[in-house]
Chain A
């Protein structure tokens, strides 16, 4: 597509959602990006206005609109505070797809999404190779946090501090699983998600340990693909469709009671974006619709379904103090915030401390972090201040992507605070 009239036409699909915005500007109060820049184009009201103008052909600079749309964490804070209930994330996702269709995908993204992401085996092989090579040109950034920084890669990733790719990704140590239903009488399908699989397999292992402990049968099909959100957020619908088809075919092989992930973003994507974006009348669509109500974050599953409760014990002086960051995709997208806190309290050796603004975005925002690193970092630094002022020795959260960001901002400053997934904390308390 290259005709602006066609672009305008495809935006008409979301016209009703666009007109729901009454331009009250209340989203300015909560948008983390607007807080940094004060630019109307960076907040939901401005982005929605630009889309309206584009769909009315009152504006022709589609590329300019796309850059404003991309400067967004997709955190949904605006949507959860919008008095008019505008479906902001749906608008953004659909508009990104329409604009990408019109402008085309950048060659780098094309390579990453269509050359790699779309083909899980190819991606795994490539990442394995990379994990062997990664020692080259990287140096240890913070021994405490285990992060590295890379001179060779700095052209692409700046001076970020990141965890090395795992030499033992989950898909290698546990390629697939079909464990029997135990005392809980429940069978779950397990979707670890890319970051857990490739960078933090310990989160996946902790989840499996916990599920086993509670007598939950696990079905984990081999060859799982990415949930699709990175591609979709970049407007690459084709890759998203293909990933969705691969995943839904895999998970359809067996019946399960719940679909569990330890990743806030994957949970929200499977629960909300899959049904929203799957092609009408496709097999994937009916499966996505069927699974959405069964899809849960691991903490929510443990608390709401298995009724795991706080330990009630007082660890006294020995207690490790743990604070918690609410991932946007759990708290704002799905309203899950008390359950992860309960899970931390379920470890008798931990004392939970609330941080200020726990629900404020950490600033990662997926590819936002790559495209707007300085902004991302300054948003992250506010999170860091709130973490540090709790005095906690561990900051826990429920999303491996947030963990990446938080690790980066803490490591940059050599702060002595460990970053963990909630499920690791709970797993540590189980024999």
Chain B
């Protein structure tokens, strides 16, 4: 519990309507998109400025009250599940685009700006902000930075971290810290903005972020290649890259997912196909035409039984509709959906796909696999029912085995969804104890009272 006098102080800082203490309001900030148990915070505060963030954090630090900062609450690793004696700090009042500079090609934003809103605003000025997580219609920029979110365009354009130029944040004492710059190059001091990226709210609370923008591609071409074996599909992925072509998007769907999508949207996908590759190349029109033709030829050469090249925008939209429907289609099959993002080196995708199929059989759980084949970031999606103890127990063991499989193939626990609490127990398997010790020592120095999102990433 937080004392009445501290609640009053929060109200002085954020205004009465910026503090929520009723049972139902607090309940509503006890969960996120991860399949984990909710924890109800003691209060929820909604600052409107960086200055208010600073005051809130200072007050919490003085009273050892844990602070969990929350954007849209769509992360899949429990990063916004608070402590029962702590507060949730909501950023969605701070949702202004402060400056969009088309000459120097950057944009300065408050933390709560919604990704898609930003991308649309940038596009309307003739520029391009590439990171496009599947949740972009609701996710916030600070949430993207704090998770280093990826998206469909990661292969060619990189992920959120590749666009972070500078971050202004408040440290655990409530002091304002800036790092990075609006210049393309900057080497003044430690790369604190880099440190803040994927920090999941454990090292500082962002109040302003400057992001790099680029000119948009002038043309693009999309196609769908149909395969009778996953191996052929993944060989194609490797061959495309080996030919020095970097498609902006290179997505894979397995047979289970194809059938789920077909049941759901009757898009006319081949139910008997073992895998689909959905590919888009973009850039200068001449290069797009050339790359497109080369990719098509590679697909055919490596065993695609059919390659459908989108001839117009409508056909292109259809290609991506199938991919976008994947999660929806799988979600309808079972009450609980566990969306994983273990990632392996590209060349290991066939091994990973067959490991996943093996686990599906071993634990008798349906798993649909789709995802960013181009960068090795697959989304094995386990369909289960959390209310059924036996099924849930099998799911937990399956997830654990899945991590082992990814690590054994030289991969990583998480390509883009973060560690949070869901994977913090597995972190050691990947990075080793010394890395955890180093991180803990750093955290202890920066946040001596452990108030910034305790328990996430490196445990307690």
Write the residues of chain A forming the contact surface with B, with a CB cutoff of 8 angstroms: 16, 19-20, 22-26, 28-29, 38-41, 46, 49-50, 53, 59-61, 64-65, 67-68, 83-85
Contacts and interface: CB of A to CB of B under 8 A. Distances in A.
B72 interface: yes
Nearest to B91: A38
A14 to B, nearest CB: 13
Given A19-B336, A29-B137, A50 B331 contact: no
Contacts of B284: none
Interface string B370-408: 000000000000000111000000000000000000000
Nearest to A85: B332
Nearest to A42: B28
A19 B24 contact: no
Interface of B: 22-25, 27-29, 31-33, 38, 46, 72-74, 90, 92-93, 114, 116, 135, 137-138, 327-328, 331-332, 335-337, 385-387
A25 B72 CA distance: 7
B28 A19 contact: no
A40 B29 contact: yes
A23 B33 CA distance: 5
Contacts of A22: 33, 331, 336-337
Contacts of A61: 22-24
A84 B23 contact: no
B245 to A, nearest CB: 32
Given A20-B335, A22-B337, A23-B33, A59 B138 contact: no
Contacts of A24: 33, 74, 135
Given A22-B336, A29-B116, A68-B24, 5 more contacts: A20-B335, A25-B73, A26-B135, A64-B22, A85-B331
Contact of B138 (A29, A46, A50, A64): A29
23 contacts: A19-B385, A22-B336, A22-B337, A24-B74, A24-B135, A25-B72, A25-B74, A26-B135, A29-B137, A29-B138, A38-B92, A38-B93, A39-B25, A39-B28, A41-B25, A49-B27, A60-B23, A61-B22, A64-B23, A65-B24, A68-B24, A83-B327, A85-B332
A23 B31 contact: yes
Contacts of A60: 23
A50 B336 CA distance: 18
Contacts of A38: 46, 90, 92-93
A69 to B, nearest CB: 10
Contacts of A28: 72, 138
Q: Is the interface of B mostly helix, strand, loop or mixed?
A: loop
Contacts of B23: 59-61, 64
Given A85-B331, A85-B332, A23 B32 contact: yes
Given A25-B74, A83-B328, A64 B135 contact: no
Nearest to A59: B27
Given A25-B74, A26-B138, A49 B31 contact: yes
B335 A16 contact: yes
Contacts of A83: 327-328, 331
Contacts of B46: 38
B335 A19 contact: yes
Which 7 pairs, one residue from A and one from B, show the smallest C-beta to C-beta distance?
A: A29-B137, A83-B328, A64-B24, A40-B28, A84-B331, A19-B335, A38-B92
Which residue, of A40, A60, A83, has the highest number of chain B Cβ atoms within 10 A? Answer: A40
A39 B17 CA distance: 11
Which residue, of A39, A67, A83, has the highest number of chain B Cβ atoms within 10 A? Answer: A83
A73 B337 CA distance: 29
B28 A25 contact: no
Nearest to B70: A40
Contacts of A64: 22-24
A29 B327 CA distance: 17
A26 B328 CA distance: 11
Nearest to B116: A29
Contacts of B74: 24-26
Given A23-B33, A26-B138, A29-B138, A46 B28 contact: yes
Contacts of B38: 49, 53
Contacts of B22: 61, 64
Contacts of B27: 49-50, 53, 59
A67 B25 CA distance: 11
